[in-house]
Amino acid sequence: MVVAPSGVGKTSLTRRLVSDHGDLHLSISATTREPRPGEHDGRDYHFVSRDKFQSMLSEDAFLEWAEVYGNFYGSPKAPIMDALNRGESVLFDIDFQGAMKVHKQAGPDSVLVYILPPSLAEMSRRLHTRSQDSEEVIHRRLSRAKDEVAAWEQFDYVILNDDFDRAYADLAHIYHAERLKRARNPWIGDLVNDLLREEI
């Protein structure tokens, strides 16, 4: 799971990782909030009504869900399970609380990556540049970032995004290396068994 405060470049990093790796499935969250300009249903979020969200909740259709700033967000289970059954990895572009919930359910098999901004001043500059949020929302985001950043020791990896290309290379290294972990490759057992049966 990749976690970062808004305005740290998380979306650009995760979208590129997914487009570069066919065996990586991006979990698209469902949300009751309104689409922002440029956002597409099914690509950025599944935009659903409050009624639809409630009925999904009652069907236990989310791996995790939360209410943030008055809107509901959740990770639908079905596409995640389908991807895992196909042997793919699943990437969660998710907030801090959601990541902790998924981590609790998925256990040590989940990998927590935190993307750090070089400074809050730089993060504030980026939030102002993208001009999506009011001053009040920006202040709330910066304040929340402070709380999240303080929990950096709960993450497996921390990437400093002071340079996009380097940060992306870091993220890609982590993705590849984690796929190479012995525990994620039970097929090696079959290969080893074949090898042990060889006559020498």
Nearest residue (CB) to its own copies, 76 versus 117: 117
Using rule CB under 8 A, residue 78 touches its own copies: no
Q: Give the span between the Cα atoms of 49 and 69, in whole angstroms.
A: 16
Using rule CB under 8 A, residue 143 touches its own copies: yes
Choosing from 43, 104, 125, 173, the residue that interacts with its own copies (CB under 8 A) is 173
Q: DSSP state, 154?
A: G
Q: Give the span between the Cα atoms of 34 and 45, in whole angstroms.
A: 10
Q: Give the span between the Cα atoms of 72 and 90, in whole angstroms.
A: 21
State the maximum Cα–Cα separation within the chain, in Å, rounded to a whole number: 72
Coil, helix or strand at residue 73: strand
Torsion of CA 73, 77, 83, 85, to 10 degrees: 160
Q: Give the span between the Cα atoms of 17 and 15, in whole angstroms.
A: 5
Using rule CB under 8 A, residue 159 touches its own copies: yes
How many Cα atoms sit within 13 Å of 111 on the Cβ side?
15
Nearest residue (CB) to its own copies, 75 versus 161: 161
The number of residues that bind its own copies (CB under 8 A) is 42
Nearest residue (CB) to its own copies, 18 versus 158: 158
Choosing from 24, 124, 126, 132, the residue that interacts with its own copies (CB under 8 A) is 124
Interface stretch with its own copies, choices 49-57, 68-76, 86-94, 182-190 (CB under 8 A): 182-190
What are the residues binding its own copies (CB under 8 A)? 114, 116-117, 119-121, 124, 139, 142-143, 146, 149-150, 152-153, 155-160, 169-170, 172-174, 176-178, 180-182, 185, 188-189, 191-192, 194-196, 198, 200
